[in-house]
Amino acid sequence: MRMFAAILGGVLLVSASALSGCASGYQYIKNDDMGVYARVPEGWAVYGTADLRPGDTERELERLEQVRWVRTFHGGDGQHDVQASVSPSGPVPAGGVLIEAISPERREVLDLRTMRGGGNAALDPIMLESQPPADGSTYTVLQDEPVEFDGGYSGIHTIWAVTREGQTYITEQTVLRDAPSTRMFLFTVSCDEQCYFETYKDQIQDFVDSWTIQEVPS
């Protein structure tokens, strides 16, 4: 989820926000206009653009969300904050959902490598596996497969491990684009090995299974 933090530009939280309705112990991360839905346990913290960019005016936030809509979350039952929601190596799940408009210029170069990198080819985990970054991290891709959602959405689902200074964390991510390649959709979750494979395995799988893009009536 290093790339997710990069997409957010390193902005930190000052306040927390609640999001969406809750049902049966879950809350939904959703964008009704785009038909995008994902669910996380009710006790997890979810943050919106205003939390991620507390210095922006309401007008600035509105303009930003027209081209880049993002929600992040931080799991577990302990104390929550936005910095943890964009940190991939914690002991509880963190991640988010991103919808980003694709400019005509970017559309020409939006290949799978760029999509794996969340819009930045330099962050493609497959490339970083064969060409490790200068910080000494090692990347191991565990799964990489094409994926399609109903409605003409296509992309790539990838799971990879990053080991840095003796600590390993896992990221699971699906990135899709719509049929005309005008928007990119990114769903991601990360945490350390014990969290991903043991402690929060079921909750993470439920979150991954909930990733949905529905057709929106015109």
CA distance 30 to 135: 35
CA distance 115 to 175: 6
pLDDT band at 11 (very low <50, low <70, confident <90, very high): very low
pLDDT band at 108 (very low <50, low <70, confident <90, very high): confident
Q: What pLDDT score was predicted for residue 4?
A: 54
Q: What pLDDT score was predicted for residue 15?
A: 35
The angle formed by the CA atoms of residues 161, 71 and 123, to the nearest 5 degrees, is: 35
CA distance 24 to 206: 13
Average pLDDT for the chain? 89
CA distance 116 to 202: 24
**Interval 61-102: pLDDT, tens:** 999 998 999 999 999 988 898 989 998 999 999 999 999 999
Does the pLDDT of residue 21 top 70, yes or no?
A: no
**Interval 34-64: pLDDT, tens:** 999 999 999 999 999 999 898 999 999 999 9
Instruction: For 200, list phi and psi in degrees, rounded to 5.
Output: -115, 25
Q: What length is written for the chain?
A: 218
Does the pLDDT of residue 125 top 50, yes or no?
A: yes
Q: What pLDDT score was predicted for residue 216?
A: 82
For the chain, the farthest-separated pair of C-alpha atoms sits apart, in whole angstroms, at 51
Q: What pLDDT score was predicted for residue 19?
A: 41
> What domains are there in the chain, each with its CATH number?
2-213 (3.40.1000.10)
Mean pLDDT along residues 22-45: 90
pLDDT band at 109 (very low <50, low <70, confident <90, very high): confident
**Interval 167-183: pLDDT, tens:** 999 999 999 999 999 99
Tell me the CB-side half-sphere exposure of residue 137, using CA atoms within 13 A: 20
CA distance 86 to 164: 17
User: What's the pTM value of the predicted model, to 2 decimals?
Assistant: 0.87
Q: Are 189 and 172 in contact (CB under 8 A)?
A: yes
